[in-house]
Structures are given as C-alpha cells and as structure tokens.
Chains A and B, each alone.
Chain A
Amino acid sequence: MPERISLSARTAMFAPLDQTGRVEAVTKRLVDAITLGLLADEEQLPSEAELAGQFGVSTVTVREALMALRQQGLVETRRGRTGGSFVRAPKDGQAASLRERLRGLSLTDLRDVGDHYLAVAGAAAKLAAERSSAEDVERLELATDDLRGATGAEASRAERHFHLEVAAAAQSPRLTQQEVQLQGELGALLWLHTGEHAEQARDEHRAITDAIADADAERARRLTEEHILAAIDRLAELHLGLLEP
C-alpha cells in the first residue's frame, strides 16, 4: 500500500526563515528533512533558485547549505542535462541520528514541548468530535487502519498521519499547522517506537476515532491525551536510558 507524507509537513520544511544563522538554519532543516525521511532517497531537490525562494534566502545561502550537505554525504550533485541535487538518505544512519537528537534533549524541554503537543492534539480531538461529518470519520478510520501490520518508519508515519487527520477534522487550519509544526519538532522521535507496538497504537486510534464518531468530545480529548502522554513518557525514559554510562 502506498505511503504518504503530508505535503504540509514538507511545506513547513520550506517555510521562510528569519535572518539569523541562515546557512545553518537551511542546512539543519534539510538535514532533518533527509534524516527524518521527509525527503526521500534519490529525490531531486528543487533548484537553488527555487529553494532560495521557498526559504526566503539568497541563492548563495542555499549553495553554502548544499555544500555542507554534500560534505555530510546527504546530497549528491550531478552535472549535465539531467543534473541537479539529489538526496542520499543515510542507509543505516537514521536511527543513530535520531538517537543523537534524543540524547541532546533535556527533560525540561521535552516536558514543555510535550505539554504544547498535548494541548494542541487534545483540543483538536475535542473539536473533531464536535465537528466531524461521516466523511471525516471515514478518513480517520482509513488512517487508523494504516497501522495494521505497520513497522518502523511506516508505523511512525501512520501515527503522524492519523493525528494530522484529527486536526483537519477539527476544521481548524491553525491547529493543523501547529500539529504539523510539532510533528516536525517531535514527530519522528515521539513515534519512533510505534512500530514495536503497532497493534496497541491502532487500538488506541480506533478508540479515539470511535469517540469522535460518537461526538463525545471529552472522551476524544482524554483518550488522545493519554495516547500522547504515554509516548512522551516513553521518550523521556528513552532519553534517560541514553544518558546511562
């Protein structure tokens, strides 16, 4: 079955940057996009001019960022008529890179971003229960079933996609944008281990979907908060585990 990544997550990757540390910022965005799998292996990047337009920076900045990516082996530039910059996704480095990010977090930051995510996803679930039509519920059911037999990155994507659909079912562009932004910050880490218990995650998604279908706003919110809180707790434990000698 085909896999999806929300375009909005990709759009967020290309959102304009502010003035400070532009080369580093562009580089970090692209490194994250590649290591977190938002850009696929072998995918051709837009031209320097297009990237510059999308990030709202100069082409010189983009060129320097691409040079940094080439040095890290994450981008390959080919010459000629079919030339351009192509993504070289790390074959086995992904997990290592995510682990490094997780080690670098602090529990303080994790709690803060976790609180933010709980607020957004919980409110989205509540509103989705109040506002979902039969068509919305059907899409949530499809997204729930994406976890069937899913493992690894596929399971993680299914998690992110489900919560994106909930935010969309809330009929709230702002909550949807927040969901996408928080997924960008946290998503790949938060749902890193969904694949190890995909059936349980699917049961939880189904319970949330049922609450939304029943227009039970409080139950939808509570189940969503519990679902996310468990993932944040797991992440905190994982972080602490990485610190042990």
Chain B
Amino acid sequence: MVTNTRALLGDEIVEQVSALVEAVFDGLGPLATQAGGLFAGESPPSAADLERLRPLVLDALSGVHGLVVGAGFIAAPHALADQELGFEWWTATGDTQPRQLFISLDPSSDHFLDYTRQSWFTVPRDTGRRHITGPYVDYLCTDEYTLTFTVPVRAGGTFAGVVGSDVYVRELERLLQRRLRGLPGRAALVNTQGRVIVSNTPRQPAGSLVRAFDIPAWWGSGAEPVSEPDTTLRRCGDAPIALLVAR
C-alpha cells in the first residue's frame, strides 16, 4: 500500500466536502452555545424557555446556501424542568416559510415519540462528539433521504440534548456531482458504514453499500489514505465521509 497524500486523487472534492460539513456544523455553533447557556443556570429551563432558541434556530436554517432544511434543539430526557422531553425544531424547504414541528411528547401517551433510538441522538450522547447520521430515510420528520448533523449540548458535565441540522442528500448531490464526474473512474462519497452518499455511476447509487472494500474496517483502523493503482480511498478532512475512487 502506498500512502502519499500528494499523489492522491480528488483534492478538490475532498476539500469541498470538508468545507461543506464544517460550514453546516459551524452554523450550529451559536445555537449550541445558547442551548448550553439555557441549561447552565441554577435551575433547568422549562419547555416554554426553549422558545428563546428560536431566532438562532431560524439562523441555522437559513445558512449554508439553503442547504439546511431542518434545524433545532432536542432535549435529553428529564433535562427540562416541567416535562420529560421537548424540542424546538423548524423545517423549511424551497420558498416555504419555516414551520415549527409539532408532535406529542407526553411520555404517558400511547403515541409518545421515542427518539432515543435514533443515531442522531444516541451517538452525540454516548460519544460526546458531533455526528453525521445517514444518509437515511428520516421518517420521524421529513420523510426524505437525509443527512442529519448533530452536536451534543452539555451543561455542567451533563448531557442536555443535541442541536442539529438536516440536509437533503439530493441537494448535496447537486453541489458535488460535477466534481465527482470530473474524477477518472467510478467515484463515490461514502459514510463510515460504506453507504454511498453521492456517486458518479448508476451502478453504485446513493443508499447502496460498497461491498468491494471493507469501509467500516478501514474507518475502524484509522482511515489512513489508500492509494493503489486501482483504488483511492481518503477521508474528507475531519468529516465522517470518505472519497472512494475505483478505476
């Protein structure tokens, strides 16, 4: 195996992906700070206090060239003073006005929405780190093929919830396809599970799993760049996204 960054293919797309990912996470920064502040006081905030996050939620929603289609804060169970769960989440697509997401969060209700199994919630909670979930079918919110960017919110060492942004896979494709097509051979952006986010070939569509190369094992062992005559595999900056080019 030859490891030589200068010889690697795809500098431009790798930098573009990395910059996009950082821009989406950066867009969540002020919201994460304010959400943390809400939980920093003597007593925890009430569900109604989450409304104070609204201006920064709407800011996050309007950032990154319209790429972000959903944004907000989701509270950890029992983080709020007056109810077990709660959130301030807004969605907007195209020219529609942002809309607040309404659902029942009464845990005693039969129809309580349990988000504690969703990776966008569990991974930041369990690792303390930012996370990109997907691509996945977001059946809890948009019903679309989505990437969800989440950042844990902590206060006094306790996990208080996550702030997050949703991005549609098709919009990423629009932004990234041109550069992918410029690469020699079959090129795809994949997540840590080896799932294709965008590819330049119909034979490996978004959502499919790369089986020719063990991507999860590669991530698990440090994600060092691979440059072989027929395969290039490299991480996009600090993002949990890799570029795979096969000739």
A26-54 vs B, CB cutoff 8 Å, 1 = contact: the mask equals 00000000000111111100100010000
Are A43 and B137 closer than 8 Å at their CB atoms? no
Are A38 and B143 closer than 8 Å at their CB atoms? no
Question: Given A8-B140, A167-B137, A171-B137, are A3 and B209 also a contact pair (CB < 8 Å)?
Answer: no
A242 vs chain B, min Cβ distance (A): 26
Are B114 and A131 closer than 8 Å at their CB atoms? no
A8, A39, A46, A157: which contacts B143 (Cβ < 8 A)? Answer: A8
Q: Which residues in B have their C-beta under 8 angstroms from that of A135?
A: 119, 193
Are B193 and A134 closer than 8 Å at their CB atoms? yes
Question: Given A131-B207, A142-B117, are A8 and B139 also a contact pair (CB < 8 Å)?
Answer: yes
Are B207 and A38 closer than 8 Å at their CB atoms? no
Chain B 81-105 interface residues, beta-carbon cutoff 8 Å to A: 102-104
Are B107 and A171 closer than 8 Å at their CB atoms? no
B126 vs chain A, min Cβ distance (A): 13
Are A130 and B139 closer than 8 Å at their CB atoms? no
What separation, in Å, do the CA atoms of A153 and B111 have in the docked complex?
Answer: 11
Q: Which residues in B have their C-beta under 8 angstroms from that of A168?
A: 136-137, 139
Chain A residue nearest to B116 in the complex (CB)? A2
Chain B residue nearest to A127 in the complex (CB)? B207
Chain A residue nearest to B112 in the complex (CB)? A2
Are B112 and A4 closer than 8 Å at their CB atoms? yes
A80 vs chain B, min Cβ distance (A): 17
Are B209 and A131 closer than 8 Å at their CB atoms? yes
Query: Taking the complex as formed, is B145 at the interface, i.e. its CB lies under 8 A from any CB of chain A?
Result: yes
Q: Which residues in A have their C-beta under 8 angstroms from that of B103?
A: 7, 10
Interface of A is mostly: helix
Query: Taking the complex as formed, is B127 at the interface, i.e. its CB lies under 8 A from any CB of chain A?
Result: no
Q: Which residues in B have their C-beta under 8 angstroms from that of A2?
A: 107, 112, 114
Residue with the greatest number of chain A CB neighbours at <10 A, chosen from B106, B110, B193, B195: B110
Query: Taking the complex as formed, is B113 at the interface, i.e. its CB lies under 8 A from any CB of chain A?
Result: yes
Query: Taking the complex as formed, is B194 at the interface, i.e. its CB lies under 8 A from any CB of chain A?
Result: yes
Are B110 and A3 closer than 8 Å at their CB atoms? yes
Chain A 41-76 interface residues, beta-carbon cutoff 8 Å to B: 41-43, 46, 50
Query: Taking the complex as formed, is A77 at the interface, i.e. its CB lies under 8 A from any CB of chain B?
Result: no
Q: Which residues in A have their C-beta under 8 angstroms from that of B139?
A: 6-8, 164, 167-168, 176, 180
Query: Taking the complex as formed, is A103 at the interface, i.e. its CB lies under 8 A from any CB of chain B?
Result: no
Q: Which residues in A have their C-beta under 8 angstroms from that of B137?
A: 167-168, 170-173, 176
What separation, in Å, do the CA atoms of A177 and B143 have in the docked complex?
Answer: 7
B106, B110, B135, B216: which contacts A171 (Cβ < 8 A)? Answer: B135
Chain A residue nearest to B216 in the complex (CB)? A134
Chain B residue nearest to A37 in the complex (CB)? B110
Are B194 and A133 closer than 8 Å at their CB atoms? yes
Are B111 and A39 closer than 8 Å at their CB atoms? yes
Chain A 150-209 interface residues, beta-carbon cutoff 8 Å to B: 153-154, 157, 164, 167-168, 170-173, 176-177, 180
Chain B residue nearest to A5 in the complex (CB)? B111
B140, B141, B193: which contacts A133 (Cβ < 8 A)? Answer: B193
What separation, in Å, do the CA atoms of A135 and B140 have in the docked complex?
Answer: 17
B63 vs chain A, min Cβ distance (A): 24
Are B209 and A133 closer than 8 Å at their CB atoms? yes
Q: Which residues in B have their C-beta under 8 angstroms from that of A42?
A: 106, 109
What separation, in Å, do the CA atoms of A168 and B139 have in the docked complex?
Answer: 7
What separation, in Å, do the CA atoms of A164 and B138 have in the docked complex?
Answer: 11
Residue with the greatest number of chain B CB neighbours at <10 A, chosen from A40, A46, A50, A170: A40
**9 tightest A-B contacts by CB?**
A171-B207, A40-B109, A133-B193, A5-B111, A168-B137, A8-B139, A4-B114, A7-B140, A40-B111
